[in-house]
Structure 1
């Protein structure tokens, strides 16, 4: 397999972005911290290997912070997520962001391990946040990964 190449997405990448989001989430809508995003309309980084899209990271930049809205590796455990997160941190530094941050849920143990191994710290917990998210997106399940009740949002950050 070839090396992973990460680049900023352009208008011509819209269909590929939608395809990754739909395959991962069944929608392009992301609900986090009470905000609703159409992730297909956000700025994005694409990871490619041998000319094929193997990952996607969508983000926003506001108040000198880069928020990762979604991170998807088409091929798990192959370095794609790490390459995307590293590229996002580099982008954040280039635009003088003070931190990179994101939200995950209490059941997402794989993500918690992944982010913490890359230097991110848990800085906040929003108990019951998923109940509010379900009012916007009723299809969010009550039980998440590993049979864990899906209840809370956890904020992780990396100081840049």
Structure 2
């Protein structure tokens, strides 16, 4: 596995971020929990492998609910970029005095569910029909997702950083 270095994104990362967001989300706009985000407006970490190649990115926001991972994508899944980016987000949450890290994924995203649960996040809520509502804002969201699974619902995952229960 390659060594991964994580840092805050800077202007020189714009092209790589744009390409990643286009591949993963059809552009820089994501709609999650009935909120529209432009990933270009959020603080972002980038992962760089030991050869200096862009390996992934994590966009986030911090508020009273904790640090929300709005977008996490790796250029080559399984190479360690996602794990390194999530660790950087946890450090940022701690530095911001946030007591938890949380995110939303979709019902079809079995790989993400496996990834996050293996890193201690737990499913804390299901919003049935949230993706259907998001399609009204972003009609390019597909109706069928990964593995041919109909795409309808959002699953919220969270992990408290203080060791408290995840309610």
- Coarse TM-score class (shorter-chain normalised): over 0.9
Query: Once the 2 structures are TM-superposed, how far is the Cα of residue 15 of structure 1 from its aligned partner?
Result: 2.7
Higher alpha-carbon deviation: 108-117 or 87-96: 87-96
Task: Please tell me whether residue 127 in structure 1 is matched to residue 128 in structure 2.
Answer: yes
| Counterpart for residue 78 of structure 1 | 79
Q: Deviations over 1:98-126 (max 9, x none)?
A: 11100000010010000000000100000
Aligned residues: 160
Query: Once the 2 structures are TM-superposed, how far is the Cα of residue 63 of structure 1 from its aligned partner?
Result: 1.1
Structure 2 spans left out of the alignment, 5+ residues: 162-167
| Counterpart for residue 22 of structure 1 | 22
Distance (whole Å) between structure 2 residues aligned to residue 48 and residue 19 of structure 1:
15
Distance (whole Å) between structure 2 residues aligned to residue 134 and residue 24 of structure 1:
16
| Counterpart for residue 148 of structure 1 | 149
Spell out the pairing of 1:29-40 with structure 2 (5 A cutoff). 29-40=29-40
Structure 1 spans left out of the alignment, 5+ residues: none
Residue 9 of structure 1 contacts residue 44 of structure 1 at CA under 8 Å; is this kept in 2?
yes
| Counterpart for residue 13 of structure 1 | 13
SS at match of 1:86: helix
Residue 134 of structure 1 contacts residue 140 of structure 1 at CA under 8 Å; is this kept in 2?
yes
Distance (whole Å) between structure 1 residues aligned to residue 62 and residue 19 of structure 2:
23
Query: Once the 2 structures are TM-superposed, how far is the Cα of residue 10 of structure 1 from its aligned partner?
Result: 2.3
